[in-house]
Amino acid sequence: MTTLVDLQAMIERFGGSLIIGEFSRDLEAPFNRDVGLDYSDKIIYAKHSNVAPTAVIHEMGHVFASDQEPFVCDEVAFLGWEYALSQEVGLVKEFKEEISKSYNFGWDMLQTLTTLEEIYPSIEMKTHVRGQLNTGWVKTIRANHLSDSLQSRVLGHLLTQCEIKGLVKNGKPIAIR
Ligand SMILES: [Zn+2]
């Protein structure tokens, strides 16, 4: 099982650092107060050693795979990088559980990979979601509405996008900053 200490070694190889312990509240991540970030100094904070490794992997994505400041970046842009890293350290199952809890995927991207029928086999549900998408107010589908195999396909697509952008080489995540 991959621990924070394993990730710490990886973070150091990437040129950053992981500090496990209390940290200043103004460094807290917006969606998870157990982790924090100093983007310019490449420091990731985890409040204690039981913090989920997937939470640290996400912060690693911010620090090493995004050239945009955390509060203005596109959170999905480096998701394929996080997926590649999760594969490398054997945390794909945990990573997908995390994605299911907290991500929405844009329908523009999803419809290049699947159909509404595949996501919502029931006609009622498909019609309901189609109606929402047609209003223009709703542009995304919740990740937990995707089957496991469809989620793998979406994440595989995002990983390929990261390869094209040079964030992943030969399936391995690399640090771009
Ligand atoms: Zn984030």
* Residues 32 and 115 occupy one common structural domain: no
* Ligand 1 centroid to residue 151 C-alpha, Å: 19
Q: Which domain holds residue 116?
A: 104-145
Prediction pTM value: 0.95
* Residues 78 and 129 occupy one common structural domain: no
- pLDDT (tens digit per residue) in 68-113: 999 899 999 999 999 999 999 999 999 999 999 999 999 999 999 9
Within 103-147, residue ranges assigned H as helices are 107-110, 116-119, 123-135
| Cross-strand pairs, 95 | none
**Residues surrounding ion ligand 1 at CB below 5 Å:** 75
* Ligand 1 centroid to residue 59 C-alpha, Å: 6
Q: Which residues contact 127 (CB under 8 A, 6 or more apart)?
A: none
Number of domains observed in the structure of the chain: 2
* Ligand 1 centroid to residue 7 C-alpha, Å: 17
Comparing C-alpha atoms, which of 73, 61, 42 is closest to residue 168?
61
